[in-house]
């Protein structure tokens, strides 16, 4: 197994990550059909700013970089020690990402486990996350790592028509 350690992000790493995470979240929201492409980047920036009003210094937020033994970065984690919906003793994983060229090598599982250890060391009894339904690799990772579905949102597109349909019984 490849050894991965985590360390706090530097200011420069945090700044680069901020750009990446805002862009990725905007793209996910568009792909999920939640936001239009025109509004997505602005809405993503607003959402991120609301969660991190003091940026890297926002209390209760942890920003970690996963690195190999030689110092090569392989991924990033953003963990909030206070759950966004107030769940007691439950931290929240806002973001986990393995660099594209290292995906599929089991590093996501190692990075996730490292984040879990950090959250537990900081007093969390559980770690919760949200994953988009179309992210099959992430769903597989979380399920195999022991995460279970707590809530689930579902959506069905409904056709629009100028004429209402007749409903018969």
Per-residue pLDDT at 165: 62
In contact, 74 and 109? CB cutoff 8 Å: no
pTM, two decimals, is 0.85
pLDDT tens across 24-51, in order?
999 989 988 899 999 999 999 999 999 9
Distance CA 92, CA 120 (A): 12
Per-residue pLDDT at 133: 83
Tokens of 74: 């392989």
pLDDT tens across 101-153, in order?
998 888 999 999 999 999 999 999 999 999 888 888 899 999 999 999 988 88
Residues 6+ apart with CB under 8 A from 132: 28, 31, 32, 138
Per-residue pLDDT at 162: 61
On the question of pLDDT at 166 being above 80, the answer is no
Distance CA 122, CA 150 (A): 23
Q: Where are the beta strands (DSSP E) in 24-89?
A: 61-68, 73-80
pLDDT tens across 73-95, in order?
999 999 999 999 999 999 999 99
In contact, 31 and 39? CB cutoff 8 Å: no
pLDDT band at 161 (very low <50, low <70, confident <90, very high): low
């Amino acid at each position: 197994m490849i050894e991965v350690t985590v360390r706090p992000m530097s200011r420069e790493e945090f700044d680069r990550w901020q750009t990446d995470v805002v862009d990725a979240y905007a793209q996910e929201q568009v792909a999920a059909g939640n936001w239009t492409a025109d509004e997505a980047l602005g809405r993503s920036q607003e959402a991120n700013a609301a969660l991190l009003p003091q940026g890297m210094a926002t209390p209760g937020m942890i920003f970690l970089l996963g690195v190999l033994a030689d110092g090569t970065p392989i991924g990033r984690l953003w963990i909030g020690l206070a759950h966004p919906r107030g769940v007691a003793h439950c931290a929240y994983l806002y973001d986990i990402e393995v660099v594209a060229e290292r995906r599929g090598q089991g590093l996501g599982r190692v990075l996730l486990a490292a984040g879990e250890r950090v959250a537990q060391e900081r007093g969390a009894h559980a770690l919760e996350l949200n994953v988009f339904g179309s992210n099959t690799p992430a769903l597989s990772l979380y399920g195999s790592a022991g995460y279970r579905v707590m809530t689930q949102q579902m959506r069905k597109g409904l056709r629009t028509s100028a004429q209402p349909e007749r409903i018969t019984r």
